[in-house]
Amino acid sequence: MAAPAYGAVLLVALALAVGAAAADTAPREEPTLPSTAAASADAAAAAVAGAGGAGISSNSVLVALLDSHYTELAELVEKAMLLQTLEDAVGRHNVTIFAPRNEALERDLDPEFKRFLLEPRNLKSLQTLLLFHVLPARHPAGSFPSTAGSHPTLSGEDLELAAGTNGSLRVSQSAVTRPDAVLRPDGVIHGIERLLVPRSVQEDFNRRRSLAAISAVLPTGAPEVDPRTHRLKKPAPPVLPGAPPVLPVWDAMAPGPSIAPAPAPGPGNGKSHFDGHSQVKDFIQTLVLYGGYNELADILVNLTSLATEMGRLVSEGYVLTVLAPNDEAMARLTTDQLSEPGSPENILYYHMIPEYQTEESMYNAVRRFGKVRYDTLRLPHKVVAREADGSVKFGQGEGSAYLFDPDIYTDGRISVQGIDAVLLPEDDTKPSPPVSAGPVRKAPAVTGSRKSKLRRGKLLEATCRMAGVFGQRSRLASCQ
């Protein structure tokens, strides 16, 4: 019985070995995506569960985007620092990405618009533009509606999808050239022929482009001003937020030619002069038209002595760099900080550097020297600048401010750099020491007939007591 049993076991082992060899030599089938909607939903749910548990998998649509031939779009996503945002979106639901071809971003895009997108101060516009190409839902080519319908994007603005009768697909004003270019369990990528620009980004670009060509001009339609009282002759119509002031800037700064600063000889021949009065008006008007600095412009218009002093300095040949806090920073000032006499002037004097500095010059200085101290018109206080996060940071601690809106105005004499906080000297930012609640001691009155008694130390007090015990106290003059 043992021999037949042993033979049966040997036959079973040989059969298993032959089956394993056949399985190794057979061609392996590539995994394919489920074709039905239910299977797609199950795969998407599994991808979401995997993303929530252990991050983005190698089979994710984001990995496919970074490794695909849409290299220009992938570089913009990395420059806009949107990888974490897209990872979070993929972790919550499927996504649909409309990827413009590389030629649409290299040759077909307006160079000026591309330069606008790559400027560091326009990072928010670049992020809005890229998120406008991502839908928080799965839309393969077969799910496009026959009639145009709006679908929300990650940027908050809607995008229209439509399918034509001839099988063509459109996204807003762009045609889909490569439908279902990439299919993954957590998303779809469609190739499109051009870049999609949301309305908010286009308006921001138009605003910046028009501001670049603005030189402060005489506002038209200003009401008449009484030359004796410098008040409006009739009530002015309501002014929209951000509009130029109704009262002309030059009238508030220099009511008459008698107090206008005298021009100083400028470079070149003797007929050339620095006109600081006009340059100060020009940069204040530019602040108003630029937007976001209305509070600072209002203070400069109302403080006629400060604006006139700035014009006089520039007329005499000096140069100025103004660190301009934006409206949000000015709104954080408390009433106590502005109520003391002369406090607005002191605050603004601390934001004026008697040097001509641009974003490039200040950034190069802090990159080379680490920390730079600039003199201010509020003597003897200095403002400290250092490099931080790829920009220039002024001040220290909680009272620091970043240079985030550079070169608002640069004419060779006055430079205006936008910052995001109001700078205060260290002495003003330190809280006053607490006052003890003990009894108030008065200094002894000193008269001509009586001298104040000197205070003896503990060692001398002990010596005087011992001398009194032995009757020798009167011999020590210090014990009298």
Whether residue 480 has pLDDT greater than 90: no
Phi/psi of residue 371, nearest 5 degrees: -140, 130
Query: Which tens digit of pLDDT belongs to each residue from 383-416?
Result: 999 998 888 999 987 789 999 899 999 888 899 9
Query: Which tens digit of pLDDT belongs to each residue from 53-74?
Result: 445 677 788 888 887 778 888 8
Q: Which amino acid is at 176?
A: V
Whether residue 443 has pLDDT greater than 60: no
Contact 344, 300 (CB under 8 A): no
Strand locations in 13-166 (E) = 95-100, 134-135, 149-152, 158-163
Provide the mean pLDDT of the chain: 74
Q: Count of CB atoms within 10 A of residue 224's CB?
A: 8
Task: Please give the average per-residue pLDDT across 346-357, as a whole number.
Answer: 91
Whether residue 249 has pLDDT greater than 70: no
Q: Count of CB atoms within 10 A of residue 131's CB?
A: 21
Judged by average pLDDT, the poorest of 113-122, 160-169, 369-378, 439-448 is 439-448
Query: Which tens digit of pLDDT belongs to each residue from 195-242?
Result: 999 999 988 888 877 665 544 444 445 556 666 666 666 655 666 776
Pairwise CA distance, residues 133 & 192, whole Å: 10
CA dihedral of 157, 189, 83, 92, whole degrees rounded to 10: 70
When pLDDT is cut at 50, 70 and 90, the band that residue 260 belongs to is: very low
Q: Which amino acid is at 18?
A: V
Phi/psi of residue 421, nearest 5 degrees: -155, 160
* N residues, the chain: 480
- 215: exposed, middle or buried (C-beta count within 10 Å: 0-12, 13-18, 19+)? exposed
CA 190, 191, 193, 196 torsion-angle sign: positive
Whether residue 428 has pLDDT greater than 70: no
The SS3 assignment for 80 reads coil
When pLDDT is cut at 50, 70 and 90, the band that residue 176 belongs to is: very high
Q: Is-cis flag, bond preceding 439, omega within 30?
A: no
pLDDT value at position 222?
A: 54
Pairwise CA distance, residues 72 & 79, whole Å: 11
Rg over alpha carbons for the chain, rounded to the nearest Å, is 38
Query: Which tens digit of pLDDT belongs to each residue from 460-474?
Result: 566 667 667 666 655
Question: Is this model's pTM higher than 0.75 or not?
Answer: no
Whether residue 261 has pLDDT greater than 70: no
Give the position of tokens 């000096």: 318
Task: Please give the average per-residue pLDDT across 75-97, as a whole number.
Answer: 89
pLDDT value at position 132?
A: 94
